[in-house]
Amino acid sequence: MSTPFTMLVLGGCRSGKSRFAEEWVAARFPRRIFLATMARTDDQEMDHRITSHRARRTEGWRTVEEPLDPLRVLRSEQHETDVILIDCLTLWLTNLLLHELTDAEIEGAVAELAQGVAASAVPVVMVANEVGLGLVPESPLGRRFRDLAGWANQQMAAACSHVVLVTAGLPLALKGTLP
């Protein structure tokens, strides 16, 4: 059995990372699952973002919203698609923090997802924010989030065959060649 193609796409806010991942996936796979870690809420601004993200995805996409357990969706849906795009791992971590999971529980969930991605029967592309290039957060929760996100990105990067950094809409291969 060959190892599946896996890619982590990192970038800052509004860097173009999601657009890059979506366009890359759409150009290569006819049946695509967009695994969204953000579900609709009563936040009008966030709902607008979700609507605009959905509008730019063309035919061939099926969206599955799962804010807490992307591994469950990965396991249950991988035989129904050609690829799974998970967007965004950083928002998923935020959801876990808001559900008051401990650092150990979050680290365990990240490790399980990394193993699931590496064992997937179909290619998996994941999007995450690179949060370590900014200022040190003022609050303990902000520093905790930054540290967990940085650690999670390292774990996912280690599990993936390819890692891409997107800045100003331009992709740069960090691991593997830019496919």
Q: What CATH number is given to the structural domain containing 120?
A: 3.40.50.300
Alpha helices in the chain, H assignment, sequence order: 17-26, 44-56, 70-77, 89-98, 103-118, 140-159
Domains contained in the chain, number: 1
Note down the domain range covering 71: 6-175
Q: What is the pLDDT of residues 114-155, one digit of tens each?
A: 999 999 999 999 999 999 888 888 999 999 999 999 999 999
pTM above 0.75, yes or no: yes
Residue 98 within a domain: yes
Q: Which two tokens stand for residue 172?
A: 């740069």
Residue 95 within a domain: yes
Q: Which residues are catalytic?
A: 53
Instruction: Name, in order, each residue with C-beta under 8 angstroms of 52's C-beta and a sequence gap of 6 or more.
Output: none
Residue 1 within a domain: no
Compute the mean pLDDT over every residue in the chain, rounded to the nearest whole number. 91
